[in-house]
Amino acid sequence: MRARATDARRAAVLGKPIAHSLSPVLHRAAYEALGLTDRSYDRFEVDEAALPGFVSELGPEWAGLSLTMPLKRAIIPLLDEISETAASVEAVNTVVRTEDGRLVGDNTDIPGMVAALREHGVEQVESAAILGAGATASSALAALARVCTGEVVVYVRSEARAAEMRQWGERLDVEVRTADWAEADRALHAPLVIATTPAGATDALAAAVPERPATLFDVLYDPWPTSLAARWSMFGGAVVSGLDLLVHQAVLQVEQMTGRVPAPLEAMRKAGERALANR
């Protein structure tokens, strides 16, 4: 899925809301570090209704798109093909125009999660826990399919969500057990905890962090640190942040859209850190 070398010079992130997105910061930092002075990366506020029109007007100057909520599933019918990774969770966050002009969708969130974990020394775990059952939780399960050899316990607030996560487990060949959110403090004793919940949802769990926690992957990055992540770090546990995920998935996007490998991970990370510090 390599971009056309001659005329594909534009890229952008689409979603609604979109003003908060760090994607332009990360991609532009990559272009600067790679010396790609003729490339641009923008952001456009696009909802599901406007997406087909936007995609239909993409010219040959477009190398690709990044997709955030609520477009990760809405984009699929508009593409010529999607990767096995994207199909596994029915979510596309990356679109690349191939050399023959086809639009191909991929999901870099899943390998981005795996790469972020590996960067922090997590290659394989015997079990894991997921806090929450929203859209990010299915990607977390797909990532755990690559690093977890045993049971994954998902803590949820409703039986409907629990049933959905069990279905994802069957589809992704992950051994999933669900538990009520009221017991979420038990999750904190797992070798790997992935928090996929919105801001504030895990604050009450901070007081329950064990004396010797293992690894926490909190997908949030603003505000940072979360109460849970701060307490986890204070007790000496390893913490993987949402910025780690954002950078690693963006690295893969840059590589696909530009054909330049490897993308400049550290330059992108530093740009993201500066942007967050200035907010």
The residues annotated as belonging to the active site are 72
**Two tokens, residue 90:** 């029915």
Residue (of 22, 29, 18, 172) closest to 89 by Cα position: 172
Beta bridge partners of 238: 215
The torsion angles phi and psi of 38, rounded to 5 degrees, stand at -100, 10
Residue (of 154, 158, 161) closest to 186 by Cα position: 154
- Nearest-angstrom CA–CA distance, 54 and 49: 10
**Two tokens, residue 132:** 């929450």
- How many residues comprise the chain? 279
- Nearest-angstrom CA–CA distance, 97 and 103: 5
Are the C-beta atoms of 131 and 184 separated by less than 8 Å? yes
